[in-house]
Chain A
Amino acid sequence: MGVKFENVTKLYSGTRPAVKNLSFEVQTGELLVLIGPSGCGKTTTLRMINRLEEPTSGSIFIEGREIHTYDPIQLRRGIGYAIQQTGLLPHMTVSQNIELVPKLLKWDEKRRHARTRELLEMVGMDYETFAHRYPRQLSGGQQQRVGVLRALATDPPVILMDEPFGALDPLSREVLQIELKRLQAKLQKTIVFVTHDMDEAMRLGDRVAIFREGVLLQLATPDELIRSPKDEFVAKFMGRFLAPQKAPVDSVRQFMQTAPIHIRRELPNGERVVQIADTSLWFRVDDEGLLQGVTDKAPEAPDQWHTATWTNSDTLSIRETDAPTEVLGRLAEGEAEALPVVDAEHRLVGIVTRRSAIRTLSGTLRRVEV
C-alpha cells in the first residue's frame, strides 16, 4: 500500500508555499524518512497524508486511490499516527490509550485486550506491569513506545511518524530506533517518518527525502546520498556522513621533494648524475634536463660512473600528473624506497619517497582533524 504525491502544493494564506509542486512515491513496505531544517515542509507533507492538512492543489494517493475519496475519519482510522509529544491521553491507562481506535472501530473487549498484550510484549513491556499504568507513571522512552504501539494497534498498512523520538535522551532514542528497525523488519509497514536528525534518518530510512523551503531536493537511499549528494545544500546537510569529496592529497606535487639537489658528476657526453634529498637513488639527466636513467648503486669511485647499470627511467619514473593514490600504492607495496617524478616532457622535477609521502599525509590528517 504505497503513498503517492502528484504535483502537491500547499499554501498558507499570506506566506510563501509550505510545499511546492511535490511529486514522489513511498513504496509499499518502505520506511521513508522526510528530513530538512525546520520550516522546510516535511511535517506539512506528512500531515497531508492523513488530511490533517489539505493540499492547495495536486493529488495524494494511497494504494492508487485519491485520499479525498475517503471519509477523513475512516482514512485516519486506517493510518497509524505517532507524534513527538506522544499524544497519549493522560487520563487513560496504557491499555485504554492503545485500545482507543480499536474501541472506536467496535472491536470486542477480548480482541482488544489480546492485541494490547501482543503489542506490549513486542517491545518487551510486561502486560501485567504496564497495561494499567497512566502515561505519567512511565518513563519518556516507555511513553514513546506506547505512542508507537498505539499507532500500530489496528495493524494499519500505513504509519505516519512525526519526530516520534525527538524529545528523548540520546540513549533512549537509540534504543527505540533499533526497536523500530526490528519491528519494521518483521511488520513491513509503509512508514513515513519525519525527523531533523540525520543520524536517525541514515539509521532508519530505506530511503531519505531531503526537503528545503518546501521543495524536495533529493530522494535516495542513504548510500546514494552519501555517494552523490545532488547539491551543496544536500552535501552540507549530510555533514559528516559524506566521504571526503577529494582525496586528502590531490597531486603528486604535494608530497614530491625537490631539494636539496646535488650534481654528483658531469659525464663526458654532457649528461649529469644528480641526487635529490640524499636518497640512495641517482639519476642520469641530459643537458635539457630529460631523465635518461636511474640507478640505486653508485660506483665506488666518482670516475667509475660509466660502469654503473642504469635502469630504464620510463618504467620507474612517475609523472607529476599521476593519481596520488596510485603513486602511494606503489610506494606502499615496496617497489622502491623512492621514485623520480617527471613532467610531461620527461624532465626530472623531483622525487617522492616513503618518508615524504608519510610526512605529507600526516600533515593532511592533522588539518582534517582540526
Chain B
Amino acid sequence: MSELGDFWSKYGDQILQALGQHLYLVGLSVVLGIIVAIPLGIILTRIPRWATTIIAVVSIAQTVPSLVLFVLLIPILGIGTQPALTVLVLYSLLPILRNTYIGLRSVDPTLIDASRGQGMTSWEILTIVELPLSAPIIVAGIRLSAIYLVSWATIAALIGAGGLGELIFSGIDSYDTTLLLAGAIPTALLALIVGFVFGILRRLVTPRGLGADKAQILLKPDLRAEVIVR
C-alpha cells in the first residue's frame, strides 16, 4: 500500500498532467474529425458515384502506419502538438466518415420517398429523417475513432506532443517498468472508459421507436466491426 503511495507521490502529478494532455489531444481530434467527417459523409451519399472511390482512397491512407505518418510530416509541420493533432484528425476521419455514409444509406429509401412526397425539403429530410435514424451507426463510428485515438495519441509523444505516451516512452528508454506502467495503465483505462461512455451515448441516440430488436442490431459489436472494416 505504501509502495502505491510512494508511486503516486512520485508520479501522480506527472500522470495527471499527461492524462490532461492526452485527453486534449484525443478530444480535440475527435471533435475536429466529427466536424469534417460527418458533413463529408453526408455529401458522399449525395454523390454515390464517387463515394466508393473516395472511401477507398481514405481507407488506403488509413493503412499507412501512424508512426510513418508522424515521421513523414515532421519536415512539413515540424514537431509538437499541432502536427500531432493533424495526424490524429486524419486518423479519426475514416470510421466516422464510413459510418456516416453507411448509416445514411441504410435508411429505408421508401421513407425518404414518402417524406419527399409529403413536401419535405432535402434539409428537412436530412435532419428529421436521415440523421436521427442513422445516429446509432454514426455514434458507433465516433466511438471507434475515439478508442483508436486513445492509443494512437500515445505515439504522438514521439514528436513531442506530450500525453501518456511520454511516460511510456520514457519508461522504455530508461528501462523503468514502473514509469512505463504509469503511462500504459491509464491509457488502457482511458480506452475502456471512452468505449463505455460512447456506448451509453449510442444507446441514448437510438430512437425509441426503432424497437429493441433493431437497436440491438445496431449495437452488436461484430456488425459494427463489419460496418467499419468492410
Residues of A that sit less than 8 Å from B by CB: 47, 50, 52, 72-79, 81, 83, 85-93, 100-101, 104, 134-136, 150, 160
Contacts and interface: CB of A to CB of B under 8 A. Distances in A.
Interface stretch (B93-101, B142-150, B202-210): B202-210
B217 interface: no
B117 A76 contact: yes
B113 A91 contact: no
- The dominant DSSP class at the A interface is mixed
B164 interface: no
Given A83-B114, A85-B110, A134-B209, A91 B132 contact: yes
- The dominant DSSP class at the B interface is helix
A52 B116 CA distance: 8
Given A87-B110, A90-B133, A52 B208 contact: no
Contact of B210 (A50, A73, A81, A91): A91
Interface in B187-212: 207-211
A77 B117 CA distance: 8
B118 A91 contact: no
B119 interface: yes
Interface of B: 108, 110-111, 113-121, 124, 128-129, 132-133, 207-211
B209 A91 contact: yes
Given A81-B114, A85-B110, A104-B124, A91 B133 contact: yes
B119 A75 contact: yes
A90 B113 CA distance: 14
Contacts of A79: 119
A134 B124 contact: no
Contacts of B108: 85
Contacts of A52: 113, 116-117
Contacts of B210: 90-91, 136
Nearest to B117: A81
B119 A101 contact: yes
Residue from B111, B133, B209 with most neighbouring chain A CB atoms (10 Å): B209
13 contacts: A74-B119, A76-B118, A81-B117, A83-B113, A87-B117, A87-B118, A89-B115, A89-B128, A89-B133, A91-B210, A92-B209, A104-B124, A136-B210
B208 A134 contact: yes
Contact of B211 (A50, A87, A92, A136): A136
B117 A83 contact: yes
Nearest to B132: A91
Contact of B121 (A73, A101, A150): A73
A50 B110 CA distance: 16
B117 A104 contact: no
B92 to A, nearest CB: 27
Contacts of B115: 87, 89
A90 to B, nearest CB: 5
Contacts of A86: 114
Nearest to B116: A52
Contacts of A81: 114, 117-118
A92 B118 CA distance: 16
Contacts of A89: 111, 115, 128-129, 133, 209
Nearest to A77: B119
Given A52-B113, A90-B209, A91-B132, 7 more contacts: A73-B121, A75-B119, A89-B128, A100-B118, A100-B120, A104-B120, A134-B211
B74 to A, nearest CB: 47
B130 to A, nearest CB: 11
Nearest to B114: A87
Contacts of B121: 73
B118 A77 contact: yes
A195 to B, nearest CB: 17
A136 B160 CA distance: 54
Nearest to A133: B209
A91 B117 contact: no
Which 3 pairs of residues, A with B, have the shortest CB-CB distance? A87-B114, A91-B207, A76-B119
A93 B209 contact: yes
Nearest to B120: A104
A16 B211 CA distance: 43
A93 B118 CA distance: 17
Residue from B116, B119, B129 with most neighbouring chain A CB atoms (10 Å): B119
A198 B128 CA distance: 37
B194 to A, nearest CB: 27
A93 B208 CA distance: 10
Contacts of A134: 208-209, 211
A50 B209 CA distance: 29
A101 B118 contact: yes
A76 B132 CA distance: 23
